[in-house]
Structure 1
Amino acid sequence: MTTTIKSKAQSYLEKPLFATLIINWEIVLYTLIFIVAVTTRFYDLGIRVMSHDESLHALYSFKLYNGEGYTHDPLMHGPLQFHLVALAYLIFGDNDFSARVPAALFGVALVMLPVWFRPWLGRLGALVTSFGLLISPLLLYYDRYIRNESFIAFFTALLALSLFQFMRTRKQLWLYAGAVAVSLSLSTKEVAFIHGFIGVVFIAAAFAWEKLTLKRFQQMLIGLLAIAVALFAAMIFFNASAGVEDGGIANASTFAGILMMVTGLLLGVLTIALNVDRRNKPIASMLALFKFKIQNSKFKNADQSQTASYKKPETRNLKPETQNAFNVLVGPVLLAAALFFLLHTTFFTNPAGFVSGTWGAVSYWLRQQEVARGGQPGYYYLMLMPMYEFLPFFLGGIGGLVYLFKKAPSFGDAGEPVSRWESEQVSRGAGGKVSKESTPAHPLTSPPAHLHPSDGGTFSAYLIFWAISGFVIYSWAGEKMPWLTVHITLPFIFLMGHVTQAVFNKFDWGVFKRRDALVFAFLLPLLASALLTLFSVKPFQGKSISEIQTTSQFLITLLAAAAIVYGLWRAGRALGRRFTWPIAYLLVFIILSVLTIRFAVMSSFVNYDYTNEFLVYAHGAPDVKWMLGEIDDISRRTVGDRQIKVAYGGVIWPLEWYMRQYPNRAFYGSAPTRDALDAPLVIVSPDSDVTLADVEPYLGDNYQRFDYRQVWWPIEDYRDQSFKRFWHNYIVPASGEDVNVTYSIATTPEQIKENRKWLWNVLFYHRVDNHSFNEWPRRSCFG
């Protein structure tokens, strides 16, 4: 007799760790990115003074947390931020740090989101995209800032992910994810309408390009290109008639601005045509699903092929429910509506919030475009992006241009082209054989048995269209603010990741074991340095000692450059073009990454309280916390911790947020009274309604006065620029009739040299030499 001993089932907790966890270099790199993202987003998060808008968001979130309720106001955008910040107060207490925690958390989530974009970015491309999101100066700064940008950037990327994941897997889960992303976007900020418009136009244009016959496709392409050229010529004409060349680009007519936006959108639609997958038609295939009527039954055989025909319901002893695509969308739509209603009404406590969050929000911000707060010129974002976002602007932008002439490749999870294997998967029938005509069953009834076409150039077409349309729409809009540059930067970062994967898709990294590759990589930056030196000196100017030294420097550098070029030619010839271009790209990538990291560190950890950084506006000055420290010190020495009476009035932001900590505060606003000003400490922040002269009669002569900076703005010498003005200030001095203009331009080579030095200090060091922080011209003060 044989005895069988059953082995005891091993519990999950008893299993060896590395039996279920496989650690590779990809996981290690993502882990490092996550650690750095958490560190950079949360380190010293509360040290910076609240800016004007931040203090509004922080205080009204505090009122919600404190039981005073919340009423939606389009002025401060959507309600989601206020609910999240109130929750952070509940967990961590009310302070500057906890107020910024939700934005920082969403910033970290956005950095890690490209992991799920690997089917379209490739493994390397997704890693590079996460790296780009990690080091982006604009994203990093506003991930540490109580604004809506961190939230809306995450939801925008999540919406794009939901679209392409649903296109690829047909899982209804991604419809719900997209619905949540749409609802929370609309509950965050009104720019969600811009991003939604971009997405809808892309889907409609891609669908049209996919469905057109080849002849109609070519005709439409030529026709739209001709219209775009005509619109561009009209835009140039109206700009010239508006005096742009002499009076600044900001003087361009409103009609010319509309022409610019329409031309940009039309060019974006044309870029879709150049990369759309007309063979597999992923957009048309996805939209075709919503024409079908489907059987929403729970099949006993979950593995049944989707291409099989349905049996009669009665043979299955099941109760089938026939529904069309409209019914399938009911769940996601209802979820989105419920979230929107709950947030805007603050969980039914403010029913009017539903109206203010729909028509009220749209009408308010459309009116604000006419106000054009900030008054920035049309080239504002074109100036701001290359000052900070070196990596995405140059690599993503140039790579996108290359894709217009060379169709963008597609990548799978492993970084290999997916159009081939996706097509094979889609064309396989139930038996696994390839068939020319296989009818894809509707996937919403059960999990898909295979993947569906979702790229073939479609994803890169979406990124290019997103980048172009976002740039032109935000540049056309009346209100231009530095934080909106976040939404322009985001698609460029994804595009940069896609381009990087394309460059290194078939690259053999073992080439760096070869001496030729190391020599090439070493000499290339030396050539760039030599060329920079050659173009920065002027030889043969005279016979003085300094001029002879300059000439000698030029000749020696010229000989060195020639030797470097010869070495590069030898090494490049041995390597072949297959390796030289990727190595050159890698070196440029490293240099631009270093520059991007430098400016990210400068803006978020060095100059965070100062307005020599151009990515801020209405910025809180460091004096605010200095003054609060002095008030706390006086209070402790006299009446106890923050028990002293403080009277304040005039411009209250960001003071109102900090004054909540003083229970004996007295706010006199624009109407000072003796009772309110009967306090040992009085703060006066002058505005149009109240000045120091209105307060002094109540103070008498027995007081000491201290002046502080409250809110300040960057220097805006970049306004009203034109090509002619730039040319004569930094390239060639003006002469003759060009001197007789209403604005200042350089007329001598010495002035050109000084202007270049000033511009270099502004661009590289963010230092405005003709203004000191103590005498900053664009500031509001209090005392």
Structure 2
Amino acid sequence: MSLRRPPSRPAAPGAGSGRPQEPDYDSLDVAPDETVDGVTLDDLDTVEAEDVRGPRGSNGRGGNGPSTARGGRGAAVADPDAGEADDAYEYDPDSDDPEELESTPVVERAVPVSTVAMAPTAVATLATADGELTLGEWLQRRWLYGLTYWQGALLFFLFVALIITRFFNLGDRAMHHDESMHAKFAWDTFHGTPIYKYNPLLHGPFQFLAVAASFWIFGATEWTARAVPAIFGVALVCLTFLWRRWLGTAGWLFAIAILVFSPSFTYFARMLREDSYTATWTLLAATGLIGYVLHRKRAWFYAFCAGLSFAFATKESTYITAFIWGTFMILSVLWERSDTWFRRIIAGAAAGGLVGAFLVAVIGVGKAALGGKLVADVTGGLIGILIGAAAGFVYNQLTPVETRVLAVSGPGARARRPRDGRRGAAGTAALAGPVRPLGTFTGAFVSLWRDREGFWGVGTFWGGIIVFFAIFIVLFSSLFTNLPGIREGMIGSIRYWLEQHDVQRGNQPWFYYLILLSVYETLAWVFGIVASVYYLRPGKGTWLTSFLIWWWALALTIYSWAGEKMPWLIIHIATPLVLLSARYLGELAMSATRSALNTLNTRGTTGAPGPLGASVAVAPASAGVLGVVGARSIWEKRIAFGGLGLLSLWTLHTGWPVNFERPDTPKDILVYTQSAPDVKKVMADIERISLEQTGNVRDIGVVVQSGTWWPFSWYMRDYKNAEYPANLTTQATKPIVLIALEDDEKNRPFLVGYTKTKYKMRWWYPEDYRNLKPSSFTDLFTKKDVRDGLWKWLIYREPTQPLGSYDFYLYLKEGLGPVSAGAPAAAGASGPPGQAGQARLDPTQLNARQVPLVSVAQWGANGRGQGQLNTPRGVALNTQGNVYVADTLNHRIQKFSRTGQPLAAWGAEGTGDGQFKEPMGVAVDAQGNVYVADTWNHRVQKLDSNGRFVAKWSGQGGFWGPRAVALDGQANVYVVDTGNKRIQKFDTTGRFLAQFGADGTGPGQFREPIGLAVTPDGQMYVADTNNRRIQQLAPDGRFVAEWPLAGWQGGARNEPYLAVDTDGSVIATDPPNARIVKLAPGGEVVAVGGAPGRAAGQFEVPLGIAIGDAIYVADSGNHRIQAVTFGG
């Protein structure tokens, strides 16, 4: 292999004669792992954030003498003209100044950490005396592209985690409202009926064409639809490979880790929205922009143009990004072409404009006085600019001249050597002269304009324009099928979204993104702020860090001001924060490693023993700090490393549940709204009915009213007999009709002869944070219930209010048959003769037995005070008629008189004796002893009549989430062991007697048993919820009968409870349909009462039930107890 050595550069004035000139490795056409003069290009690429030096005067080997080409990575070079050694020029190997990169000889550029640490010692052989490598030494060996083995192993682990987090269970969640629209229009595009035409409401055409391509290759399913954003989620992380040269290897690995485990990046990469694509294209554009500015190669500029064009063709938020980058470019030019005094005015104006805009436009300070709306927003920004500029001018006047001269390279700029070879204070001062060299950005811009050998010979700039518009035209014309789309993409998009600014879509407060960042992107947010403060200090920042700081700060301001505030926009703010915090963490890691190396090298010069490999391998992996780089106290670093570890654990705690544990239950602010599990259950029922009625799962006739179009238009895309009217205008004839709850009243007259069942279509987090005021922060310190509520949400994701929902009705034509969803046919029951025919309870039978409920009493309200309730469940009566309530989310048992007078309350949250964790069941024996199903402590507790702890037990083999407890006439205790799909029987001391049931759908088997009622002689009635039936068991556990109940078809909080009357009739709650159902001893429905609402006799999720002089129902959603009777 031949090397092309560039002409030797003349030594700088005053340079030592012992500094041989080295080849410019950037100009060598060699493979990364080939050795050139003892140093590989991999070594050059893996230089970390700062140089590693020995003590002053050291040559990097622990000895004394002049620095040499192998004398240590970035060793200080003495300058006789600079005076003291502190004034000597120090090269920053991670500099992003292309002038420095191009002009600095290799002697000042790069020798890897391992070379510095190991070259002079026996450790350099990476072998022990017997020739065998230790694990630490092996991990520290170079592997590929300059990575050590431990870095390669970490990278492999992160890549596996990336694939799992993006693709695992991707199709399980019901299609979100927006997802269903995007999937349906992409499906239409795939079939050409028609190809998507650009509509600003649905955003750019790229998404629809990409998803249509996925359908063409893999078929149309939820998984293949979401696979496209998931692939881009992977591509986003892979793009960071190009950032290794700017972040350093440690920073690059941090960036990958943060993105892989980020709750928001993971969530929106698994959702069929355009934000995953937009973030990826934006990062490609940012990579190209930075690459060109720092390296001035036209390929970077073309990448910038391509990424920007694809981003514009994906989402209109790219206009915001382009504005942010454009303003930074303008400020860069002004900064680099100005004197020191004007630079400070520019810096002050920029900072003042940001603060002023945030205070007035976002928070609203003084907005009314400034005229309101857009005029005030602009005025606030201008006032901030003026104040900031004035502050910069005053600061300049108060700063000594000497400091102003030395600071001419700009706040945040590192010491750099000019191209003419001048160094030190003299060289820096020369910059203040009339001839100023081109700066980082200005030089790149001039190079771009002067390059005439670019794409097709028209120059780099015009070649980039060709790339941009070629992509833009092809996509916005929908593959040349919609030429007007080109004009709409250029003009109509920005016009539409400016008009939408006052709509306030989402209706979120100004601090919305501050909440999201603090909860879901905590690590990037905290370290991004710390990094911003650090890099804004004089001498610390670079053009790249300034760019990232400006990007995130202005993005946070603009998105907080914009009318539409949605959770998916958080990733556009978080992207620069992740990169900035990764660079900072990488420097911290290398700082910690350098400290260890210096210590070990010092020991090595005195002959102190100890292999180095393991220490070097472990240090970068554990490094990170919440403080300032260079913290000298070991305790400061330990606290900082611990902070990084805690934030990492918090990220995992936050990200796993929202993405994998409960992705279809919106207990997180990150989930704006989500289709409920009921959607997929209803579709399964419709397919089953269609198969029974027509022999094909998609041939049945369905009417989908406009309020239910999304997501059902997607799910019924292949239904040939589906109709989609806005509302019914004539009597319906098709067997199945879907009607939104809000439109039910106007459509009901056309649904004679149909029965209906209520379901949730989509639901959302109760956005109680909208009402936060300054006093809310003082409440955290003065009100225990506020602290408890916040703690429960942060740790357990328990909202303080019920989830909101948008509901719909499934109408079935009478005589069509039950929607049983897997419940076994009653004909196979082995009960007494005649029961099988009475057991099949279809919606027709239920609705035909509807009677009014008479309210006898009601009490309770949401809260934690005496007599207040929070999502009550189990209810029981004692012999005096007093009412015992499992106050579930207050973690206590409350005792009331039959009229609702509070008598006592026992328990608190905890695991100790007499403490509870969401108790859901309660029973009382003849002596007044209270038995509690302490659900999430997985045990039963017994209290005496005064609420004192008596005993506790966990059952034969343990409980898993017991939901209900009941007693027979002999005071035997029966417990519904829900998670283990069985009933367990005990005596009053907790001694195990028997167990009944197993997992399954057959007689005597259970799927999610909840409610339990026991007669005095030991007959058991079990609410077998997911099998949608009531099962009757004999005292010895033998199966007697089953009664399928069509009402139990809802998803969340479908926890039906049972009670048995003295005449043997059973009353069941029907939570999804907000009613109670009374069945005769043989299973025949005799009465149905209740309706959704808050009025007397109405319910919102009725759960627990008990029978005495009236029927006492835990109206859980309304946080109250109602005593009712069936009317005539």
Same fold (TM over 0.5): yes
Q: After alignment, is 635-644 or 188-197 more displaced?
A: 635-644
Amino acid at match of 1:681: I
Contact 1:711 1:781 (8 Å CA) reproduced: no
2:285 to 156, 159, 174: 159
Aligned 8 A contact 2:762 2:807 in 1? yes
Match for residue 274 of structure 1? 411
Residue type of the alignment partner of 1:755: V
Aligned position for 2:719: 662
Instruction: State which of 480, 501, 510 in structure 1 corresponds to 2:565.
Output: 480
Residue in 2 aligned with 1:600?
Answer: 655
Indicate yes or no: 2:733 matched with 1:646: no
Structure 1 segment 4-83 matched on structure 2, within 5 A: 24-68=149-193, 69-83=195-209
Matches within 5 A, 1:314-463: 327-405=459-537, 407-408=539-540, 457-463=542-548
Identity %: 30
Query: How far apart are 1:196 and its partner, in Å?
Result: 0.9
Displacement, 1:781?
3.1
The one-character-per-residue Cα deviations of 1:376-422 (angstroms, maximum 9, x if unpaired) are 1111111121111111011122221222235436xxxxxxxxxxxxx
Cα separation, partners in 2 of 1:293 and 1:481, compared to 1, 3 Å: closer
Contact 1:56 1:653 (8 Å CA) reproduced: yes
Q: From the superposition, tell whether residues 659 and 500 of structure 1 become closer, same or farther in structure 2 (CA, over 3 Å).
A: same
Question: Which residue does the alignment assign to 1:286?
Answer: 444
Preserved contact between residue 658 and residue 668 of structure 2 (Cα < 8 Å): yes
**AA aligned opposite 2:508:** Q
| Contact 2:449–2:461 under 8 Å retained in 1 | no
Provide closer, same or farther for how the CA distance between residues 107 and 592 of structure 1 changes in structure 2, counting only shifts above 3 A: same
Distance 1:635 1:233 in 2: 59
Residue aligned with 2:304, SS:
helix
Distance in 2, Cα, partners of 1:264 & 1:183 = 33
One-letter amino acid of the counterpart of residue 730, structure 1 = L
Provide the rounded CA distance (Å) in 2 between the counterparts of 1:660 and 1:48.
Answer: 18
Q: Is the 8 A contact 2:412 2:539 kept in 1?
A: yes
CA distance in 2, matches of 1:397, 1:474: 18
Deviations 1:40-91 (A, max 9, x none): 1011111111111111111000000012122111110100000000000011
**Contact kept in structure 2, 1:685 and 1:781, CA below 8 Å:** yes
The one-letter amino acid paired with 1:692 is D
Q: Which runs of 5+ in 2 are unaligned?
A: 1-141, 393-406, 419-438, 601-609, 811-1128
Q: Distance in 1 between matches of 2:546 and 2:537?
A: 12
> How far apart, CA to CA, are the structure 1 residues paired with 2:191 and 2:686?
24
Mapped contact 1:62–1:94 kept (Cα < 8 A):
yes
Deviation of the 1:225 alpha carbon:
6.2
> Cα gap change, 1:87/1:237 in structure 2, threshold over 3 Å: closer, same or farther?
closer
Distance 1:650 1:607 in 2: 28
For structure 1, the residue ranges without an aligned partner over 5 or more in a row are 1-17, 244-250, 298-320, 410-456, 529-574, 733-751
CA distance in 1, matches of 2:454, 2:768: 64
Tell whether 2:790 aligns with 1:768.
Answer: no
Shift of the 496–268 alpha-carbon distance from structure 1 to 2, 3 Å rule, reads farther
Change in 2 beyond 3 A, CA 1:106/1:126: same
Aligned equivalents of 2:343 and 2:196: distance in 1? 53
Relative to its length, the structure with more helix (as a share) is 1
Q: Give, in whole Å, the separation in 1 of the partners of 2:496 and 2:368.
A: 29
Say whether 1:684 aligns with 2:739. yes
Amino acid aligned to 1:781? F
Where 1:679 maps in the other structure, the secondary structure is coil
1:724-764 C-alpha deviation (Å, 9 max, x unpaired): x21443234xxxxxxxxxxxxxxxxxxx0011111222233
Looking at structure 1, the residues matched to 590 and 202 of structure 2 have their Cα atoms a distance apart, in angstroms, of 45
| Deviation for aligned residue 1:637 | 2.4
Choose which of 323, 330, 333 in structure 2 pairs with 1:204: 330
What SS does the aligned partner of 2:770 have? Answer: coil
Aligned partner of 1:729 in structure 2 is: 779
TM-superposed CA distance for 1:151, in Å, is 0.8
Check 1:293–1:599 CA distance in 2 against 1; reply closer, same or farther (3 A cut). closer
Q: Does 1:704 align with 2:704?
A: no
- Report Cα offsets for 1:623-680 as digits up to 9, x if no partner: 1001111111222222222222222213111111111132222223223433xx2122
Which residue pairs with 2:768 in the alignment? 717
Read off the aligned partner of 1:289 and give its amino acid letter. S
Q: 1:388 to 1:225 in 2, by over 3 A?
A: closer
User: How far has the Cα of 1:695 moved from its partner?
Assistant: 3.2
When the two chains are superposed, the root-mean-square deviation of aligned CA atoms in Å is: 3.5
Partner of 1:695: 747
- Give the distance between the partners of 1:229 and 1:160, measured in 2 at CA: 25
Aligned partner of 2:808 in structure 1 is 781
**8 Å CA contact retained: 2:205, 2:475:** yes
After superposition, give the CA deviation of every residue in 1:409-460 in whole Å (9 maximum; x if it has no partner). Answer: 6xxxxxxxxxxxxxxxxxxxxxxxxxxxxxxxxxxxxxxxxxxxxxxx1111
2:229 corresponding residue in structure 1:
103
Amino acid at match of 1:765: Y
CA offsets, 1:680-731, max 9 Å, x none? 22111244xxx3233333332x4332111112232111114321x2144323
**Range moving further from structure 2, 260-269 or 343-352:** 260-269
Match for residue 786 of structure 2? 755
CA distance in 2 between counterparts of 1:134 and 1:232 reads 31
**Contact 1:55 1:654 (C-alpha < 8 Å) held by counterparts:** yes
- Mapped partners of 2:226, 2:444: distance in 1: 39
Tell me if structure 1 keeps the 8 A contact 2:352–2:384: no
Q: How far apart are the structure 1 equivalents of 2:638 and 2:387?
A: 32
Q: State the SS of the aligned residue for 1:706.
A: strand
For the structure 1 residues 227 and 770, does the alpha-carbon distance in structure 2 shift closer, same or farther, using more than 3 Å as the test?
closer
For 2:255, which of 102, 124, 129 is the aligned residue? 129
Q: Is the 8 A contact 1:607 1:613 kept in 2?
A: no
3-state SS, counterpart of residue 756 of structure 2: coil
Mapped contact 2:324–2:551 kept (Cα < 8 A): yes
Deviation per CA, 1:154-183: give whole Å up to 9, x if none. Answer: 111111111122223322111211111011
Closer, same or farther in 2 for the Cα pair 1:624/1:115, shift >3 Å? same
Q: CA deviation at 1:502?
A: 2.0
Contact 2:705 2:725 in 1 (8 A): yes
Alignment length (residue pairs): 601
For 1:779 and 1:52, the matched residues in 2 are separated by 11
Residue of structure 2 in register with 1:119 after alignment: 245
Query: What secondary structure is seen at the aligned counterpart in 1 of 2:536?
Result: helix
C-alpha distance 265-342 of structure 1, shift in aligned 2 (>3 A): farther
Contact 2:631 2:637 (8 Å CA) reproduced: no
Paired residue secondary structure (2:467): helix
Larger radius of gyration: 2
Amino acid at match of 1:133: L
Kept in 2: contact 1:685–1:782 (CA 8 A): yes
Alpha-carbon separation, structure 1, partners of 2:472 and 2:357: 39
Given that residues 452 and 460 in structure 2 are in contact (C-alpha distance below 8 angstroms), is that contact kept between their aligned partners in structure 1?
A: no
- DSSP 3-state at the match of 1:668: coil
For residue 695 of structure 1, what is the amino acid of its counterpart? N
1:577 & 1:403 partners in 2: Cα distance? 19
1:73 aligned partner, one-letter code: N
Secondary structure at the counterpart of residue 201 of structure 2: helix
What's the CA shift string for 1:237-292, capped at 9, x where partnerless? 9626759xxxxxxx996655556666889999999963256956211211121453
Distance 1:223 1:88 in 2: 48
- Maintained 8 Å contact 2:176/2:675: yes
Q: Which amino acid aligns with 2:217?
A: I
Distance in 1 (alpha carbons) for counterparts of 2:388 and 2:570: 19
- Maintained 8 Å contact 1:74/1:361: yes
- Mark the CA change 1:26 to 1:381 in structure 2 (over 3 Å): closer, same or farther: same
**C-alpha separation in 2, matches of 1:139 and 1:292:** 40
Q: Secondary structure at the match of 2:700?
A: coil
| Distance across 1 between alignment mates of 2:647 and 2:716 | 43
Q: Aligned letter for 1:710?
A: M
> What's the counterpart of residue 496 of structure 1?
581
| 1:186–1:193 CA contact under 8 A, matched in 2 | yes
